[in-house]
A and B are shown apart, each in its own frame.
Chain A
Amino acid sequence: MTIARVDRPRRAPSAAAGAGGADASSLRRRHRRRSRLTALAFVTPLLAYLAAFYVYPLYRNLDLSLRDYTVRSFVAGDAPFSGWHNFRTVLDDPTFGPAMRHTMVFTFVSIAFQYAIGLALAVFFNRHFRLAPTLRALFLIPWLLPLIVSASSWSWMFNSESGVVNYFLHFLGVSPVGWLTSPDWALTSVIVANIWIGIPFNLVILYSGLQNIPAELYEAAALDGASAWQQFRRITFPLLRPVSAITLLLGLVYTLKVFDLIWIMTKGGPGDASSTLATWSYQLGFGTLLPKFGPGAAVGNILILIALVFGLLYIRVQRRQEA
């Protein structure tokens, strides 16, 4: 928008200097209108993009969740408006409680570990030892792998019969664990895999945040006799707070909607021991031979709402920090 303005209006009076005063003002007005049109032309692609890829899908999803869709009315397009009925169905479903709980546990445990490990690694790599760049690059691998590859690998490693994890446990004299086949372990297993995948993201963002902390602060602290832990507590952590906040928020939104990892590893099973709102939404909409689009969309909307709440929370916190 600023580019579009290119101080053309300011030059306009000088160009029209010879003409009468009335003429000059109309010319100025015309110029202003043109610059506004230019501005609009620059914004239009963005608006079109937002409308096509954000507003319309969201509207469709809301529409799906507020109508009573059967396969027949889905095809015919004459589904009757049913208000909050789909939401009520979903909230009354015995799957809702566990799915909500699993979503929260999955999200918060994943984020806590991803952030803690990511921060520890970032501080570690910030010490600029030899091989640090190489090692840091290696840590990015989980992020670069297609999710289908990493999720399948984890699924093989955790296999209760032939998985490498149980193989090592066997050497340690521990009896095999049904990582993905026991309801007590399935959620833990997908969380472990998700933490592994999320560490690089936290590492990269926190590492770049560390680069922005002036080295003088550490020098001064060292002169004053601050220990390494004190330097971390009093300098690194407070100065990293804005970066931490955005890392955590993005991580939260990403983790809330994680679907593919869980679907590939357990499909929400056994039973519904590892089903989250995201997998349940898919299960309802596409997982059976008879799709239930309405309730599926309702679950999706609940997820969006949760993400929105956290987004607004972030903005509030940030504004208070700036004030």
Chain B
Amino acid sequence: MIPTRRTLLAALAAVGTLASLTACGGGSSSSSGSSSGGSGGTYAFWDPYPQFNASSAWGKLVTSCGTKAGVKLKRTAYDTTDLGNKALLAAQQGNAPDVMLVDNPVVSTLVEAGILNKTSDLGLDTKSIQKNIIGAGTLDGASYGVPIGANTLALYYNKKVLSAAGVDPASVKDWNSLTAALKKVKGAGKKGITFSAINTEEGSFQFLPWFWGAGGDLTKLDSAKGVAALSLWKQWVEAGYAPKDVLQNTQTTSWQEFATGEYAFGENGTWQLGNAEKAGFDYGIINIPAQNGGSAPVPTGGEFVTVPVQKDTGRYDVSKKIVTCLTSDANLLPTDTTLQYIAPTAAVQATQVKQNPKLKPWVDAVAAARGRTSGGLGTKYPTISQPMWTAVQAALSGGKSPQDALATAQQSAQKG
């Protein structure tokens, strides 16, 4: 008797210690007000901006949009990587928020899960939004959200480092001239370029301008064009033009490297502009060059305002008012200024450039940008992106040749 009981207990203990690993986070605190539509009541609002509290400009805007719609808007901020899974869990429990701001590549996943309403069903007007920006939230011709703003990538450069190495930033027009510039910088005893090649979505986001700049196609990762892009990165790391730790760099740590003033170039986003002013050296911005000259297509970043499906369809009227308020031209301007995003409408972009002429190259870059999930990829994108960042890691760490790494990636992308 005793041995069996002990067996059971020990087995339970062994299992129990592991259970913590497998218990996938339970339903989190989420509250969609119980009172039905009409005036009054509480509406739930989720966003991925934990850096802004209730007293920030963004927090106040959210509250005021709720008040204008005649309801109390309860805002909850999640970490951006967490928000997609939280939304899925909440939808499964039947308590999705009324309005939710999500990162654009997540939109297609949520649409696949069947938890987002079409903007046309809600009667939202999206005509003024730039086509390529709303593209990331468009599936089979229907859009499922309104972009709050867009950001993208470009090359920041350190003027002092470049002039010391005798490089004219205007001479950087294609990959060859960029590599030549990096060589000169290294010869002058400084460091070349830093970027993020980490094994998460961030790594794919940073690799895409080069992949697309070579003419690569995400459905054929191992084409000669894709291999050319990965070979470029590998060549830089091997020649010491880029540091080895790009493999670990997030976009934030990559920025910190650039901010040391040692690096000539840093691939980073619109959202670093505020930090660039504080960096303490003269900087400039050029668009990421394509392989044979011209600007490379860059991926769009930024969030979409979405309206998750509710059992009580009477709530949509108020939700629509809230979305319209958040994405009105008058409100987009301060929001995108705070977030350091480029507005999704031409009218607001013009005002932004008037206020800050330095934004001009960014507006151009956004105009040339593509959604990662655009072009009919939708939820295929995540199953391509993960093998792609794994291939980048495998090639840059010296484990595999770019050709082999991308061939493996293509195989697992096809399996889905």
Contacts and interface: CB of A to CB of B under 8 A. Distances in A.
B382 interface: yes
Contacts of A281: 21-22
B393 A269 contact: yes
A161 B254 CA distance: 12
Contacts of B390: 271-272
Nearest to A159: B245
Is the contact region of chain A dominated by helix, strand, or loop, or is it mixed? helix
Interface string A49-73: 0100110011011001000001110
Contacts of A77: 92
Contacts of A162: 245
A253 B17 contact: yes
Contacts of A254: 17
Given A270-B393, A288-B386, A315-B10, A259 B21 contact: yes
B399 to A, nearest CB: 4
A71 B398 contact: no
Contacts of B40: none
A268 B199 contact: yes
Nearest to A296: B24
B106 interface: yes
B357 interface: no
B201 A271 contact: no
Contacts of A296: 24
Interface stretch (A176-184, A195-203, A206-214): A176-184
B142 interface: no
Contacts, number: 175
Interface centre among B12, B109, B113 (most CB of A within 10 A): B113
Given A57-B19, A70-B112, A287-B200, A270 B394 contact: yes
A288 B201 contact: yes
A307 B15 CA distance: 7
Interface in A20-57: 50, 53-54, 57
Interface residues of A, number: 63
Nearest to B386: A288
Contact of B88 (A75, A94, A161, A287): A75
Interface in B158-212: 198-201
B224 interface: no
Interface in A257-277: 257, 259, 266-273
B237 to A, nearest CB: 9
Given A94-B412, A160-B245, A182 B113 contact: no
Nearest to A301: B22
Given A54-B12, A288-B201, A319-B3, A181 B109 contact: no
Contact of B199 (A161, A270, A312): A270
A160 B244 contact: yes
A175 B255 CA distance: 26
Given A64-B24, A75-B92, A273 B10 contact: no
Contacts of B17: 253-254, 257, 307
Given A160-B244, A270-B394, A290-B383, A54 B19 contact: yes
A308 B399 contact: no
B101 to A, nearest CB: 16
B247 A74 contact: no
B92 A183 contact: no
B22 A57 contact: yes
Interface centre among A53, A58, A301 (most CB of B within 10 A): A58
A253 B22 contact: no
B330 interface: no
B109 A304 contact: no
Sort A-B residue pairs by CB-CB distance and give the 6 closest, nearest first: A311-B14, A270-B397, A290-B382, A57-B23, A300-B22, A271-B394
Interface of B: 3, 6-7, 10-24, 84-85, 88, 91-92, 105-106, 109-110, 112-115, 198-201, 243-245, 247-248, 257, 379, 381-383, 385-386, 390, 393-394, 396-400, 405, 408, 412
27 contacts: A50-B12, A54-B19, A57-B19, A60-B24, A61-B24, A72-B114, A160-B243, A161-B257, A181-B247, A182-B244, A183-B399, A267-B199, A270-B396, A271-B400, A289-B109, A289-B381, A290-B382, A290-B383, A296-B24, A297-B22, A300-B18, A300-B21, A304-B15, A304-B18, A311-B11, A311-B13, A312-B11
